[in-house]
Structure 1
Amino acid sequence: MEVHVSIKHLKLLKFWSMRSCASLKELPAEVSALSSLEILILSFCFFLETLPEGLGDMKALTVLILKNTRVKELPNSVTQLKRLSKLSLKECKLLIELPDLIGKLESLKDLIIAGTRLETIPNSIGDIGNLQTLDATSCTSLSALPESIGRLKKLRWLKLDQTGIQELPDSIGFLEELDTMFMSGGKLKVLPSSFGRLRNLVRLEIPGPVFSNRPENMVNLQNLMVLNLSENGENFNSWYISYLDFENLPSLKSLILDGNYFDQLPLSIGKLSWLEELSICGCEGIHYLPQLPSSLKSLSARLCTQLKAFWDMSNLKHLRKLDLSGCRALLKIYGHQHLESIEEIDLRCCLQLEREFNIMCQKEEEELQWSYISNPNEPIKLIIEFPDPHCGRMPSIGVLVYAMVGPEVIF
């Protein structure tokens, strides 16, 4: 497929999409004459390898999407696109470098380089004063960020999942507007001492072990609402979690610790008065759960194979979803009769749970009362799933049922 040179006569063209033109290999030099073009989309042009050197003459261009192309480099003239606000190079797997003077893109707000083979980011990136999003997800060859990153005063989203970055520059602490940061699945080993300055951080996904050397970095994260320290099921020996002081995170609503290996949650977790979601799936070292915040709405402890007891649930009056599936050593749950808002419970493979555990009803004057269902017309779902070949035997749990459908017990 070819683009005819007559394209240059479309002087008023503002939007042009060649998305998924798989046979397109190049654009003619004449496209640089499209002086009114604002949006150019070339995503999924899998055989597109080069861009015309005159690309920088398209002065009105604000959006350039090159996702999933075979572009190896950008023409230097791209730095002349003073109005460009979004540049997407996602999954350009042959791209190995950016223009040294990319900092001249003074209007750029979103730079997406995820899935490229970039090894470095030019130091001039610090000159892009309007940059708000930098996405370098899966840039496995990227080993460092330039110190100039700290000059991006308007940066709000920083995505560095699955990169080769082992440490962050100290200047990261000067990102005053940063509210979301992703660094899971990579090689990050330690946080800089300046990390605690990120007072506007709202969401943080980062390898848990990096906090083991500098737990004091949590002290000033007063606005943090989502903290993900999961280890992707690798069961890292995360002893430090037992000593984290969650009192320093008063705004936290979601805490995800999946795949870590620790024997207990710190008692300070009970003081997270805004916490709504707690996930500790696959934390095989934990033996019991302390009293949790009354604000909790969702608790996932799936495959906590050593968990033996949940000491007190009586305060969890807002809990809607409880997942204890695969907790094969679980013997006792205290206070379950006070779960006034519960909607779904998953007890698959809870082999040791005591026979008298009757989660859904209580006997009063010889009648079974639905004592805490605010709307009796809305069903509660209890998942037991039997027989389950992975459990070894059927769970001995006493329950009241209205109907049994397939492998699930539904109220």
Structure 2
Amino acid sequence: MTNKWNIISVLLIILLYSSCNTYTTYYSKTYTSTPNRNKSKVHRLDFSNKNVESLAEYIVKNKNLKMLNLSNTKISNLDNIFIQLGKHTQIEILILDSLDISRLPKSIKTLSHLKQLSLSYNPKLNLEDTFSKISDLPIEFLNLKGNNIAKLPDNTTSLHHIKDLNLSYNILSEKHNYTLLGELPNLYSLWIDHNNLDQLPETIGALDQVRFLYIDHNNLNVLPNSISAMKKTWVIHAGYNQFTELPSAFTKMKSLFMVHINNNNIKSISEAYEKEKYPLAGLILDNNPLLDSEKEKGKKLFKGFFLLSFEQNQ
């Protein structure tokens, strides 16, 4: 038992770190304009919603820049900015949200230290072209939120370095998408929340490398049996769906220790939780219309859990 709780403690620490804002890798001050003094001390620069015409010149003078946010700006020469970043900095975090981009300039290939790239809310973005240009970069976090993506290109499999992939607010119901994602060897966290999914395809089982799965804010009421093939998954977020029963599929997942399934329509707990052995040790069932008898059953079934919650908002 001690070993079990030691493992759970370690996993909780990992969970807390994984839940942090990805862009806070560098904890120095974030500047929203180019400072008059100590320009070389700036590591984080947020130029979102600003005029960036003089930015290339500033980059030449600041060789320590690590994070740059250019979201929602009007950029006439993104290519030149990338060239200067590649020449004069070791930029690691680049945020290019809401720029109406259709194709990235080839010069993005010069950003050889880039680890985090956000391209959210660029629905015209050509994914096949984008993936071709960034596949050799050491990008570990890629944000493609809100790009109206229905189909991933076949060269998605070239993104070998990706650990965290945000595909929230898209429409990824096609089963082949998950076959492609299953071929990303280092994929650790996957967000497919807010994708208007009525069901998960059987190919979800191809994601046997994923540790954290976010399927919340969809229209799911059942889970496919193939989800049991996700043998490395630790945590699932499945809140704000249409489940009426705590899915029995969770008992078949060999590494699953935590489930968030709040704000559904769950009234009962599957009998599988009385019959099966499973590693699940944390369960959040807040804001579900569970019958009192089912709550009592749950408290007995899950009495050894490190976290168990049936809270209801008044």
Question: What range describes the TM-score normalised by the shorter chain of this pair?
Answer: 0.5 to 0.7
2:203 corresponding residue in structure 1? 244
Using CA pairs under 8 Å that are at least 6 residues apart, name the structure with larger relative contact order, 1 or 2: 2
1:312 corresponding residue in structure 2? 272
Contact 1:264 1:288 in 2 (8 A): no
- Structure 1 residue 310, shift from structure 2 partner: 1.4
Residue 71 in structure 1 maps to residue 71 in structure 2: no
Residue 126 in structure 1 maps to residue 106 in structure 2: no
| Greater fraction of residues in helix | 2
- Structure 1 residue 152, shift from structure 2 partner: 3.5
Instruction: Quickly say closer, same or farther: Cα 1:150–1:317, change in 2 above 3 A.
Output: closer
Contact 1:119 1:143 in 2 (8 A): yes
Choose from 76, 79, 91 the match for 1:109.
91
2:11 corresponding residue in structure 1? none
- Structure 1 residue 87, shift from structure 2 partner: 5.0
2:283 corresponding residue in structure 1? 321
Question: Separation in 1 of the partners of 2:232 and 2:136?
Answer: 31
Instruction: Quickly say closer, same or farther: Cα 1:242–1:264, change in 2 above 3 A.
Output: farther
Residue 38 in structure 1 maps to residue 18 in structure 2: no
- Structure 1 residue 37, shift from structure 2 partner: 5.0
Question: Separation in 2 of the partners of 1:225 and 1:321?
Answer: 21
Count, aligned residues: 275
- Structure 1 residue 305, shift from structure 2 partner: 1.6
Question: Separation in 2 of the partners of 1:304 and 1:322?
Answer: 11
- Structure 1 residue 115, shift from structure 2 partner: 4.5
Choose from 280, 297, 302 the match for 2:257.
297
Q: Deviations over 1:41-99 (max 9, x none)?
A: xxxxxxxxxxxxxxxxxxxxxx46243563242455467569465351345x4433443
Q: Deviations over 1:305-362 (max 9, x none)?
A: 2654412224346513341532357975878634352244333xxxxxxxxxxxxxxx
Letter in 2 for 1:300: H
1:253 corresponding residue in structure 2? 211
Question: Separation in 1 of the partners of 2:162 and 2:194?
Answer: 23
- Structure 1 residue 289, shift from structure 2 partner: 1.8
Residue 181 in structure 1 maps to residue 181 in structure 2: no
SS for the counterpart of 1:38 is helix
Letter in 2 for 1:86: K
Alpha-carbon RMSD across the aligned residues, in angstroms, is 4.1
Contact 2:210 2:232 in 1 (8 A): yes
Q: Deviations over 1:118-142 (max 9, x none)?
A: 53532321233332222234x4476
Contact 1:88 1:113 in 2 (8 A): yes
Question: Separation in 1 of the partners of 2:183 and 2:31?
Answer: 45
Provide the TM-score with structure 1 as the length reference.
0.53
SS for the counterpart of 1:88 is strand
Choose from 133, 145, 165 the match for 1:161.
145
For structure 2, the residue ranges without an aligned partner over 5 or more in a row are 1-28
Provide the TM-score with structure 2 as the length reference.
0.66
SS for the counterpart of 2:300 is helix
Residue 100 in structure 1 maps to residue 86 in structure 2: no
Instruction: Quickly say closer, same or farther: Cα 1:251–1:337, change in 2 above 3 A.
Output: farther
Q: Deviations over 1:277-326 (max 9, x none)?
A: 23322221555622513644322322332654412224346513341532
Question: Separation in 2 of the partners of 1:19 and 1:223?
Answer: 33
Letter in 1 for 2:202: Y
1:86 corresponding residue in structure 2? 66
SS for the counterpart of 2:117 is strand
1:225 corresponding residue in structure 2? 188
Contact 1:86 1:108 in 2 (8 A): yes
Question: Separation in 1 of the partners of 2:223 and 2:292?
Answer: 17
